[in-house]
Amino acid sequence: MEKDQLIKYSELLKNYSLKRPLNIMEVCGTHTVAFFHTGVKDIFPEGLNLIDGPGCPVCVTANGYLDRAIQIQKEHEVVLATFGDMIKVPASYTSLQKLKSEGVRIEIVYSPMDALEIAKKEKDIEIVFLSVGFETTIPTEAVTLKKAIEENVNNFSILTGNKLTPPAVDALLTLGEVKIDGFILPGHVSIITGSDNWQFLPKKHSKPSVISGFEPKDLIMGTLRLVQLIENGEIEIDNLYKEVVTEEGNRLALGFIEELFDVTDANWRGIGVIPGSGLKLKDKFSLYDAEKKFPVTMPEEVENKSCRCGEILRGLITPPECPLFGTVCTPREPVGACMVSFEGSCSAYYKYRK
């Protein structure tokens, strides 16, 4: 895109005069960061309010998940393999990073396949992969597991903490705590789910939505289009990321998920248990299910009472409204998950604070 075109678009957004104040929610954590990073948030016209949604898989992972991983490590001496994002997240009593600094072997991987490779090379250790992530990531984990099963890699298992985003957005709207006029839907998640999976937004909740990419032009046009849909009363989904998002999604990827997982209820930090918003391994793959393979006595789950991540994930407050923000809680010493993840709201607000 030409630079002067981008400037033109920015002017359009900046000078847009809203008919009434509007709350729009971006579901995806990458969007949260992109809105700050590109400066698009700074050129929002008066009255347009961007509310961060529950869009980061790290942030919404409740303490109990990491507690279990840590307990499995302790009781069964397994090697935990994880995406880097999870490493600093405080669990009820410690974090993976602390364990690592105490000399416990924890493998940070870029791809779930890397974790499987370790298991294949080191037959005498048990690798437990922390399978977190939304629809974007789940298929990569499904393929990896399928390989493990096919190749009989029986020192490899996964601890499922995967979550599905549409049910969470549905739950937020049903809770009705925060008034949202329209949604900017997650681009990468929608590549897998397809735009049809979001039809409940216009159909059930009468909310217009756009699917958008992550470039400055995508963010500006997505925002403008959403405002237009809302103001014109056009209750529909507009897909502005057609180069990768289709109506039916990535069928191949969805097939892998269906083959290995069943839908189940899942516990979201700050929101609670949402029906049908999680995945569990099918019973016939129990040998690869770390929760079944390595039974543990779970410690009591405690949440840090002063951390307000939960309210932030529900769109009720913004990070600076948390008394710990930027003083006690910083990305170097995070108190809550929302300050850890690169895509967490607290971390984004901190990084781009003025």
Q: Which residues bind another protein (CB under 8 A)?
A: 8-9, 12, 15, 17, 28-30, 56-58, 83, 85, 110-114, 132-134, 136-137, 139-140, 143, 188-189, 191-192, 217, 221, 224-225, 228, 238, 240-246, 250, 252-253, 256, 341-343
Enumerate residues 6+ apart whose C-beta is below 8 A from 101: none
Contact 334, 344 (CB under 8 A): no
Contact letters for ligand SF4, residues 127-166 (x by CB under 6 A): -------x-x------------------------------
* Binding partner of 178, given another protein, ligand SF4, none, CB within 5-8 angstroms per partner class: none
Round to whole Å and give the CA distance between 16 and 227.
10
DSSP label at residue 241: -
Contact 55, 28 (CB under 8 A): yes
Round to whole Å and give the CA distance between 313 and 303.
15
* Binding partner of 132, given another protein, ligand SF4, none, CB within 5-8 angstroms per partner class: another protein
Q: Does 339 bind ligand SF4 (CB under 6 A)?
A: yes
Name the residue nearer to ligand SF4 (CB basis): 145 or 322.
322
Considering only residues 304 through 323, tell me which ones interact with ligand SF4, judged by CB under 6 A: 307-309, 312, 319, 322
Round to whole Å and give the CA distance between 37 and 120.
40
Round to whole Å and give the CA distance between 185 and 236.
12
Is residue 29 within a helix (H) or strand (E), and if so which, with residue range? helix 29-37
Q: Does 346 bind ligand SF4 (CB under 6 A)?
A: yes
Q: Does 336 bind ligand SF4 (CB under 6 A)?
A: yes
3-class state of residue 322 by DSSP: coil
Contact 25, 52 (CB under 8 A): yes
Round to whole Å and give the CA distance between 253 and 191.
10
Which span sits near ligand SF4 by CB under 6 A: 75-83, 100-108, 257-265, 338-346?
A: 338-346
Among 82, 250, 343, 348, indicate the residue that binds ligand SF4 (CB under 6 A).
343
- Among residues 166, 165, 160, the alpha carbon closest in space to that of 142 is found at 160
* Binding partner of 336, given ligand SF4, another protein, none, CB within 5-8 angstroms per partner class: ligand SF4
Enter the tokens of residue 275.
Answer: 């029906």
Q: Does 30 bind ligand SF4 (CB under 6 A)?
A: yes
List of residues contacting ligand SF4 (CB under 6 A): 28-30, 55-57, 134, 136, 186, 188-189, 307-309, 312, 319, 322, 324-325, 329, 335-336, 338-339, 343, 346
